Structure 1
Amino acid sequence: MNKENTPQDKNINTDNPKMRKPGGHGPMGGYTGEKAKDFKGSIGKLAVYLSKYKIKIIIMIIFAIGSTVFSIVGPKILGNVTTSIFKGLMAKISGTGGIDFEKIGRTLLFLLGLYITSSIFSLIQAFIMNKISQNVTYQLRKELSEKINRLPMKYFDSKTHGEVLSVVTNDIDTLSNSLNQSMMQIITSVTSIIGILIMMLSISLSMTLVALLVLPLSGVLISFMVKKSQIYFKSQQEYLGHVNGQVEEVYGGHQVVRVFNGEEKVIAEFKEVNNSLYDSAWKSQFYSGLMFPIMSFVGNIGYVAVAVLGGYLVIQNRIEVGSIQSFIQYVRNFNQPIGQMAQISNQIQQAAAASERVFEFLSEEEEIQDVDNPVSTNGIQSTVEFKHVKFGYTPEKIIIKDFSSKVEPGQKIAIVGPTGAGKTTIVKLLMRFYDVNEGEILVDGHNIKDFDRSELRKMFGMVLQDTWLFHGTIMENIRYGKEDATDEEVIEAAKAAHAHHFISTLPDGYQMELNEEANNVSQGQKQLLTIARAILADPKILILDEATSSVDTRTEVRIQKAMDNLMKGRTSFIIAHRLSTIRNADLILVMKDGDIVEQGNHEELIVKGGFYANLYNSQFEQTA
Structure 2
Amino acid sequence: MARNKFDIDENLESPFNIKHFKRALVYIRKQQKPMIIAFLLSAISAGVALSAPLIIQHVVDVTIPSKDKSALLFWSGMTLLTIIVSVILATIRSRIMTRVGQDIIFDIRTDLFKHLQKLPFQYYDDRPQGKILIRVVNYVNSVSDVLSNGIINFILEILNLIFIAIFMFAVDVKLSFVILGGLPIFAGVILLIKNKQRRAWQAVSNKSSNMNAYMQESISGIRVTQIFTREKRNEGTFTRLSTNYRNVWMRAMYFNFLIPFSVDNLATIVTTAIYFVGLITLGPEEITFGVILAMSSYAARFWQPILNLSNLYNSFINAVSYLERIFETLDEPVTVSDIPNARTLPPIQGRVTFDNMTFAYDPGHNILENLSFDIKAGESVALVGPTGAGKTTVVNLISRFYNVSDGRILIDGHDVAEVKLESLRSQMGIMLQDSFIFSGTIMDNIRYGKLDATEEEVIAAAKTVCADEFIREFENGYMTEVNERGSKLSQGQRQLISFARTLLANPRILILDEATSSIDARTERLLQKGLNELLKGRTSFIIAHRLSTVKNCDRIMYVADKGIAESGSHDELIAMRGRYYRLYTAQKMEA
Q: TM class by shorter-chain length? A: 0.7 to 0.9
How far apart are residue 539 of structure 1 and its match?
1.6
C-alpha change, 1:36 and 1:183, in structure 2 (3 Å) is farther
How many residues matched?
Answer: 588
Name whichever of 612-621 and 229-238 sits farther off: 229-238
Choose which of 5, 11, 22 in structure 2 pairs with 1:44: 22
Pair 1:581 & 2:559 matched? no
In the TM superposition, 1:79-98 aligns within 5 A as 79-84=57-62, 86-88=64-66
Choose which of 31, 34, 52 in structure 2 pairs with 1:74: 52
Give the aligned partner of residue 444 of structure 2. Answer: 476
Q: Secondary structure at the match of 1:510?
A: helix
In the TM superposition, 1:239-250 aligns within 5 A as 239-250=207-218
Give the aligned partner of residue 408 of structure 2. Answer: 440
1:196-224 Cα deviation digits (max 9, x unpaired):
22222222233223333344445556776
Name whichever of 126-135 and 608-617 sits farther off: 126-135
Give the aligned partner of residue 20 of structure 1. Answer: 5
Q: Distance in 2 between matches of 1:485 and 1:44?
A: 46
Q: Distance in 2 between matches of 1:591 and 1:190?
A: 69
Choose which of 287, 294, 299 in structure 2 pairs with 1:326: 294
In the TM superposition, 1:347-496 aligns within 5 A as 347-366=315-334, 367-369=337-339, 371=341, 374-377=344-347, 380-394=348-362, 396-449=364-417, 451-496=419-464
How far apart are residue 271 of structure 1 and its match?
4.3
Q: Distance in 1 between matches of 2:391 and 2:282?
A: 92
Q: Distance in 1 between matches of 2:404 and 2:9?
A: 36
Choose which of 509, 512, 519 in structure 1 pairs with 2:487: 519
TM-score by length of 2: 0.88
1:433-485 Cα deviation digits (max 9, x unpaired):
23434443333344445644322222211111111221211011111232222
How far apart are residue 543 of structure 1 and its match?
0.5
1:339-381 Cα deviation digits (max 9, x unpaired):
222222233344444444444444444412474654521xx43
Tell me if the contact between 2:45 and 2:85 (Cα under 8 Å) persists in the aligned partners. yes
Q: Unpaired segments of 5 or more residues in structure 1?
A: 1-11, 26-31, 89-98
Tell me if the contact between 1:39 and 1:353 (Cα under 8 Å) persists in the aligned partners. no
Pair 1:600 & 2:578 matched? no
Name whichever of 560-569 and 347-356 sits farther off: 347-356
How far apart are residue 518 of structure 1 and its match?
2.4
Give the aligned partner of residue 559 of structure 1. Answer: 527
RMSD (Å) for aligned C-alpha atoms? 3.4
1:296-332 Cα deviation digits (max 9, x unpaired):
4443333322223333478533232222222222212
Tell me if the contact between 1:389 and 1:440 (Cα under 8 Å) persists in the aligned partners. yes
In the TM superposition, 1:49-448 aligns within 5 A as 49-52=27-30, 56-84=34-62, 86-88=64-66, 99-217=67-185, 220=188, 238-280=206-248, 295-312=263-280, 316-366=284-334, 367-369=337-339, 371=341, 374-377=344-347, 380-394=348-362, 396-448=364-416
Q: Distance in 2 between matches of 1:137 and 1:457?
A: 32
C-alpha change, 1:617 and 1:335, in structure 2 (3 Å) is farther
Structure number with greater CO (CA < 8 Å, separation at least 6) is 1
Q: Distance in 2 between matches of 1:445 and 1:392?
A: 24
C-alpha change, 1:138 and 1:512, in structure 2 (3 Å) is same
Q: Secondary structure at the match of 1:528?
A: helix
Q: Unpaired segments of 5 or more residues in structure 2?
A: none
Pair 1:614 & 2:582 matched? yes
Amino acid paired to 1:430 = I
Amino acid paired to 1:604 = E
C-alpha change, 1:386 and 1:228, in structure 2 (3 Å) is closer
Q: Distance in 2 between matches of 1:337 and 1:253?
A: 50
Q: Secondary structure at the match of 2:42?
A: helix
How far apart are residue 586 of structure 1 and its match?
1.3
* Overall identity of the aligned pairs, in %: 33
Tell me if the contact between 1:36 and 1:349 (Cα under 8 Å) persists in the aligned partners. no
